[in-house]
Amino acid sequence: MLRKISLLICLFVGNAFAIDDAAVSTQWGYKGNVGPARWGQLNSDFIACSTGKSQSPINIPKKVPHASGQLAFNYSSSKLDIVDDGQTDLTIGDKQELILDGRGVQVNFPSQDSKESITLNGKNYRLIQFHFHSPSENTWHGRSFPLEIHFVHQGENGKVAVVGVFVIGGPENMAIQKLAKHIPKVEGKEYTIEGEQINPADLLPATHQYYSFTGSLTTPPCTEGLSWMVLETPITASPAQIAVIRKAAGGANARPVQQLNGRKINYIR
Protein backbone atom coordinates (compact mmCIF):
# COMPACT_ATOMS: atom_id res chain seq x y z
CA MET A 1 0.00 0.00 0.00
CA LEU A 2 2.84 2.39 0.77
CA ARG A 3 4.15 2.02 -2.74
CA LYS A 4 0.68 2.60 -4.04
CA ILE A 5 0.41 5.87 -2.15
CA SER A 6 3.75 6.92 -3.56
CA LEU A 7 2.66 6.23 -7.11
CA LEU A 8 -0.54 8.12 -6.59
CA ILE A 9 1.22 11.13 -5.20
CA CYS A 10 3.77 11.25 -8.00
CA LEU A 11 1.28 10.70 -10.76
CA PHE A 12 -1.59 12.75 -9.61
CA VAL A 13 -0.39 15.38 -7.24
CA GLY A 14 2.31 16.53 -9.60
CA ASN A 15 5.87 17.66 -9.23
CA ALA A 16 5.20 20.39 -6.72
CA PHE A 17 3.93 17.76 -4.32
CA ALA A 18 6.06 14.79 -5.32
CA ILE A 19 8.02 13.23 -2.50
CA ASP A 20 10.49 10.38 -2.55
CA ASP A 21 9.84 6.76 -1.70
CA ALA A 22 11.84 6.94 1.52
CA ALA A 23 9.62 9.68 2.83
CA VAL A 24 6.48 7.85 1.86
CA SER A 25 7.61 4.63 3.49
CA THR A 26 8.30 6.38 6.80
CA GLN A 27 5.81 5.00 9.28
CA TRP A 28 3.45 7.57 10.70
CA GLY A 29 0.10 7.34 12.39
CA TYR A 30 -2.22 8.94 14.91
CA LYS A 31 -0.94 7.44 18.16
CA GLY A 32 2.15 7.24 20.32
CA ASN A 33 5.65 7.95 19.01
CA VAL A 34 4.52 8.13 15.36
CA GLY A 35 1.55 10.38 16.21
CA PRO A 36 0.85 13.92 14.93
CA ALA A 37 3.04 15.65 17.54
CA ARG A 38 6.03 13.68 16.22
CA TRP A 39 5.45 13.79 12.44
CA GLY A 40 7.94 16.61 11.89
CA GLN A 41 10.72 14.54 13.45
CA LEU A 42 10.03 11.27 11.66
CA ASN A 43 11.58 12.29 8.34
CA SER A 44 13.31 15.46 7.14
CA ASP A 45 10.74 15.64 4.32
CA PHE A 46 8.03 16.01 6.98
CA ILE A 47 9.57 19.14 8.51
CA ALA A 48 6.62 21.35 7.50
CA CYS A 49 4.49 19.32 9.95
CA SER A 50 6.37 20.99 12.82
CA THR A 51 7.69 24.26 11.33
CA GLY A 52 4.90 25.22 8.90
CA LYS A 53 2.99 28.40 9.61
CA SER A 54 -0.17 27.67 7.62
CA GLN A 55 -0.98 24.13 8.64
CA SER A 56 -4.29 22.28 8.49
CA PRO A 57 -6.71 21.47 10.01
CA ILE A 58 -7.99 24.59 11.78
CA ASN A 59 -10.87 25.71 13.92
CA ILE A 60 -13.25 27.97 11.99
CA PRO A 61 -13.98 30.85 14.37
CA LYS A 62 -17.40 32.44 14.87
CA LYS A 63 -16.61 35.84 13.41
CA VAL A 64 -15.29 35.73 9.86
CA PRO A 65 -15.72 38.35 7.14
CA HIS A 66 -18.01 37.70 4.20
CA ALA A 67 -16.37 37.71 0.78
CA SER A 68 -17.27 36.91 -2.78
CA GLY A 69 -16.13 33.84 -4.64
CA GLN A 70 -17.37 31.09 -6.89
CA LEU A 71 -17.30 27.36 -6.32
CA ALA A 72 -19.14 24.90 -8.56
CA PHE A 73 -19.10 21.11 -8.39
CA ASN A 74 -18.94 19.12 -11.63
CA TYR A 75 -19.38 15.65 -10.17
CA SER A 76 -21.18 12.77 -11.85
CA SER A 77 -21.84 9.09 -11.40
CA SER A 78 -19.27 6.49 -12.43
CA LYS A 79 -18.29 2.88 -11.95
CA LEU A 80 -16.82 1.79 -8.63
CA ASP A 81 -13.81 -0.51 -8.60
CA ILE A 82 -12.62 -1.96 -5.33
CA VAL A 83 -8.98 -2.37 -4.45
CA ASP A 84 -7.94 -3.86 -1.16
CA ASP A 85 -5.31 -2.86 1.32
CA GLY A 86 -2.76 -5.52 0.44
CA GLN A 87 -0.42 -6.32 -2.41
CA THR A 88 -2.51 -5.46 -5.42
CA ASP A 89 -1.07 -2.94 -7.83
CA LEU A 90 -2.59 0.36 -8.66
CA THR A 91 -4.81 0.06 -11.68
CA ILE A 92 -5.09 3.04 -13.93
CA GLY A 93 -8.24 3.27 -15.89
CA ASP A 94 -11.46 5.11 -16.21
CA LYS A 95 -12.85 3.99 -12.91
CA GLN A 96 -12.94 4.86 -9.28
CA GLU A 97 -11.15 2.80 -6.68
CA LEU A 98 -12.07 2.25 -3.08
CA ILE A 99 -8.94 1.78 -1.04
CA LEU A 100 -8.58 0.84 2.58
CA ASP A 101 -5.04 1.84 3.43
CA GLY A 102 -4.97 1.18 7.14
CA ARG A 103 -5.46 4.87 7.87
CA GLY A 104 -8.95 5.23 6.49
CA VAL A 105 -11.24 4.83 3.53
CA GLN A 106 -10.21 6.56 0.32
CA VAL A 107 -11.73 6.61 -3.15
CA ASN A 108 -9.31 7.43 -5.97
CA PHE A 109 -10.16 8.84 -9.36
CA PRO A 110 -7.14 7.60 -11.27
CA SER A 111 -8.11 8.52 -14.80
CA GLN A 112 -6.52 11.68 -16.13
CA ASP A 113 -9.65 11.99 -18.25
CA SER A 114 -12.12 11.73 -15.40
CA LYS A 115 -14.73 14.44 -15.63
CA GLU A 116 -15.10 14.99 -11.91
CA SER A 117 -13.94 18.49 -11.05
CA ILE A 118 -14.67 21.73 -9.30
CA THR A 119 -14.61 25.21 -10.80
CA LEU A 120 -13.09 27.59 -8.31
CA ASN A 121 -13.15 31.28 -9.24
CA GLY A 122 -13.14 30.38 -12.94
CA LYS A 123 -10.38 27.76 -12.75
CA ASN A 124 -10.89 24.04 -13.13
CA TYR A 125 -9.50 21.52 -10.61
CA ARG A 126 -9.78 17.79 -11.30
CA LEU A 127 -10.94 15.49 -8.49
CA ILE A 128 -8.07 13.13 -7.60
CA GLN A 129 -9.57 11.37 -4.58
CA PHE A 130 -11.77 11.74 -1.58
CA HIS A 131 -11.29 10.22 1.87
CA PHE A 132 -12.72 10.23 5.35
CA HIS A 133 -11.49 11.36 8.75
CA SER A 134 -13.11 10.45 12.04
CA PRO A 135 -13.65 12.58 14.04
CA SER A 136 -13.59 15.68 11.81
CA GLU A 137 -10.20 17.38 11.47
CA ASN A 138 -11.40 20.93 10.94
CA THR A 139 -13.69 22.13 13.67
CA TRP A 140 -16.43 24.76 13.46
CA HIS A 141 -16.93 27.23 16.31
CA GLY A 142 -14.92 24.84 18.44
CA ARG A 143 -17.22 21.96 17.57
CA SER A 144 -16.04 18.66 16.14
CA PHE A 145 -18.14 16.31 13.97
CA PRO A 146 -18.22 12.50 13.76
CA LEU A 147 -16.80 12.47 10.21
CA GLU A 148 -15.25 14.82 7.68
CA ILE A 149 -14.84 14.07 3.98
CA HIS A 150 -11.95 15.63 2.07
CA PHE A 151 -12.31 15.98 -1.68
CA VAL A 152 -8.80 16.55 -3.07
CA HIS A 153 -8.50 18.33 -6.43
CA GLN A 154 -5.64 19.52 -8.58
CA GLY A 155 -5.58 22.34 -11.10
CA GLU A 156 -3.60 22.46 -14.34
CA ASN A 157 -1.08 24.69 -12.60
CA GLY A 158 -0.46 21.90 -10.05
CA LYS A 159 -2.26 23.78 -7.30
CA VAL A 160 -4.24 21.62 -4.90
CA ALA A 161 -7.73 22.57 -3.68
CA VAL A 162 -9.43 20.58 -0.94
CA VAL A 163 -13.14 20.70 -0.12
CA GLY A 164 -14.13 19.58 3.39
CA VAL A 165 -17.62 18.33 4.18
CA PHE A 166 -18.75 17.60 7.74
CA VAL A 167 -20.95 14.59 8.46
CA ILE A 168 -23.39 14.46 11.38
CA GLY A 169 -25.58 11.62 12.62
CA GLY A 170 -29.03 11.45 11.02
CA PRO A 171 -30.69 9.80 8.03
CA GLU A 172 -28.63 7.32 5.99
CA ASN A 173 -26.49 8.57 3.12
CA MET A 174 -26.82 6.51 -0.05
CA ALA A 175 -23.26 7.02 -1.26
CA ILE A 176 -21.74 6.18 2.12
CA GLN A 177 -23.92 3.06 2.17
CA LYS A 178 -22.38 1.89 -1.12
CA LEU A 179 -18.89 2.48 0.22
CA ALA A 180 -19.64 0.85 3.57
CA LYS A 181 -21.09 -2.18 1.82
CA HIS A 182 -17.96 -2.68 -0.28
CA ILE A 183 -15.15 -1.87 2.12
CA PRO A 184 -12.67 -4.68 1.48
CA LYS A 185 -12.65 -7.36 4.16
CA VAL A 186 -9.98 -9.59 2.67
CA GLU A 187 -6.45 -8.46 1.86
CA GLY A 188 -4.88 -9.19 -1.50
CA LYS A 189 -7.97 -9.04 -3.65
CA GLU A 190 -9.11 -6.63 -6.27
CA TYR A 191 -12.57 -6.77 -7.69
CA THR A 192 -15.10 -4.76 -9.57
CA ILE A 193 -18.61 -4.50 -8.30
CA GLU A 194 -20.77 -5.08 -11.33
CA GLY A 195 -23.38 -2.46 -11.84
CA GLU A 196 -22.33 -0.36 -8.86
CA GLN A 197 -21.87 3.33 -9.44
CA ILE A 198 -21.10 6.11 -7.08
CA ASN A 199 -21.59 9.82 -7.48
CA PRO A 200 -19.46 12.08 -5.26
CA ALA A 201 -22.21 14.69 -5.57
CA ASP A 202 -24.27 12.44 -3.27
CA LEU A 203 -21.76 13.34 -0.54
CA LEU A 204 -22.45 17.07 -0.81
CA PRO A 205 -25.08 19.09 1.05
CA ALA A 206 -27.82 20.88 -0.89
CA THR A 207 -26.30 24.31 -0.27
CA HIS A 208 -22.66 25.13 -0.83
CA GLN A 209 -21.79 28.21 1.22
CA TYR A 210 -18.25 27.75 2.46
CA TYR A 211 -15.28 28.97 4.45
CA SER A 212 -12.16 29.68 2.43
CA PHE A 213 -8.58 29.76 3.74
CA THR A 214 -5.07 28.60 2.91
CA GLY A 215 -3.66 25.50 4.52
CA SER A 216 -1.75 22.26 4.11
CA LEU A 217 -2.09 18.53 3.69
CA THR A 218 -3.28 17.25 7.09
CA THR A 219 -1.00 14.21 6.77
CA PRO A 220 2.78 14.00 6.27
CA PRO A 221 4.51 15.65 4.49
CA CYS A 222 2.08 18.47 5.54
CA THR A 223 2.80 20.36 2.31
CA GLU A 224 1.51 23.95 2.42
CA GLY A 225 0.04 26.17 -0.29
CA LEU A 226 -3.31 24.40 -0.57
CA SER A 227 -6.63 26.17 -1.05
CA TRP A 228 -9.15 24.95 1.50
CA MET A 229 -12.90 25.26 1.29
CA VAL A 230 -15.00 23.85 4.11
CA LEU A 231 -18.73 23.70 3.43
CA GLU A 232 -20.84 25.14 6.23
CA THR A 233 -23.76 22.73 5.88
CA PRO A 234 -23.06 19.17 7.02
CA ILE A 235 -24.47 16.08 5.38
CA THR A 236 -25.95 13.24 7.40
CA ALA A 237 -25.10 9.56 7.71
CA SER A 238 -26.66 7.02 10.03
CA PRO A 239 -24.79 6.22 13.25
CA ALA A 240 -24.22 2.68 11.86
CA GLN A 241 -22.66 4.06 8.65
CA ILE A 242 -20.46 6.43 10.62
CA ALA A 243 -19.33 3.50 12.78
CA VAL A 244 -18.38 1.42 9.70
CA ILE A 245 -16.26 4.21 8.19
CA ARG A 246 -14.61 4.91 11.55
CA LYS A 247 -13.84 1.23 12.11
CA ALA A 248 -12.25 0.97 8.67
CA ALA A 249 -9.81 3.69 9.72
CA GLY A 250 -8.74 1.54 12.65
CA GLY A 251 -9.76 4.23 15.12
CA ALA A 252 -9.43 8.00 15.19
CA ASN A 253 -7.54 9.40 12.18
CA ALA A 254 -7.72 13.14 12.76
CA ARG A 255 -4.82 15.54 13.19
CA PRO A 256 -5.49 18.13 15.93
CA VAL A 257 -6.28 21.71 14.87
CA GLN A 258 -3.30 23.96 14.09
CA GLN A 259 -2.55 27.63 14.80
CA LEU A 260 -3.96 30.19 12.37
CA ASN A 261 -0.86 32.42 12.63
CA GLY A 262 -2.78 35.39 11.25
CA ARG A 263 -4.35 33.56 8.32
CA LYS A 264 -7.56 35.07 6.99
CA ILE A 265 -10.72 33.00 6.75
CA ASN A 266 -13.54 34.19 4.54
CA TYR A 267 -17.17 33.13 4.45
CA ILE A 268 -18.62 32.85 0.96
CA ARG A 269 -22.23 32.28 0.00
- The secondary structure of 113-134 as a DSSP string is T---EEEETTEEEEEEEEEEES
- Smallest separation, CB 12 to Zn ion (Å): 15
- Residue from 126, 150, 153, 246 that binds Zn ion (CB under 5 A)? 150
Q: Among 2-10, 191-199, 216-224, 226-234, which window interacts with Zn ion (CB under 5 A)?
A: 216-224
80 or 249: CB nearest Zn ion: 249
- Smallest separation, CB 195 to Zn ion (Å): 29
42 or 162: CB nearest Zn ion: 162
Q: Does residue 87 contact residue 226 with C-beta atoms inside 8 Å?
A: no
Element (H, E) at 178: helix 174-182
- Smallest separation, CB 152 to Zn ion (Å): 7
175 or 254: CB nearest Zn ion: 254
Dihedral, CA of residue 78, residue 152, residue 66 and residue 215, to nearest 10: 180
Return d(Cα 24, Cα 21) in angstroms, integer: 5
Does 153 help bind Zn ion (rule: CB under 5 A)? no
126 or 150: CB nearest Zn ion: 150
- By beta carbon distance, the residue nearest Zn ion is 150
**How far lies 73's CA from each of 97, 124, 169, 230, in Å?**
20, 10, 24, 13
Q: Using CB under 5 A as the criterion, which residues of the chain lie in contact with Zn ion when the complex forms? A: 150, 218
